Amino acid sequence: MQPPHDATLLRIFVGEKDRWRHKPLYEAIVLKAREMHLAGATVLRGPMGFGKSSLMHTSKILRLSFDLPLVIEIVDTEEKISAFLPELDEMMKGGLATLEKVRVIDYRSNQENAAVAQPPAVE
């Protein structure tokens, strides 16, 4: 187990309909984070929410929304998150981004699952 260390959590709130260069914004953000070698990113889909416009987005059957709220969380060092922020600023036309200091207590790969998740090599 790794010793605890200080890190920064970048939390980004966007909608499913948000786009960047004809691609879902959440996907573009995660791909850019991977390209920049950030530690990892997770996209969470919310069943209900509203933002600055106060327009309610919900997954309830009678009010089915195709623009549900999404939260992207990225944790890494303050330096790497700071370097990512200009890229994020260019991509986001709306939404909310927050930063928090966090303490990482464990960060490791499950090698068993990683081996299963990798496609076989093509020869």
User: Per-block average pLDDT, block size 10, for the chain (123 residues)?
Assistant: 78 94 97 97 86 63 69 97 98 95 87 59 49
- Evaluate whether residue 29 is within a structural domain: yes
In a domain, 26, yes or no: yes
* pLDDT score of 119: 54
Q: How far apart are CA 85 and CA 81, in angstroms?
A: 6
Q: State the residue range of the domain holding 88.
A: 19-49+72-95
- Residue 6 falls inside a structural domain: no
Q: Is residue 1 part of a domain?
A: no
Give the CATH number, domain containing residue 30: 3.30.70.120
Let me know if residue 13 belongs to a domain: no
Look at residues 1, 87, 4 and name the one whose alpha carbon lies nearest to residue 41. Answer: 87
pTM of this structure = 0.78
* 78 assigned to some structural domain: yes
CA–CA dist 36, 69 (Å, integer):
25
Q: Is residue 123 part of a domain?
A: no
Give the model's pLDDT for residue 48. Answer: 73
Is residue 59, in this structure, part of any structural domain at all? no
Residue 123: the pLDDT is 44
CA distance 88 to 63: 31
Answer whether 32's CB lies under 8 Å from 41's CB: no
Q: What is the pLDDT of residue 116?
A: 52
**How many folded domains does the chain comprise?**
1
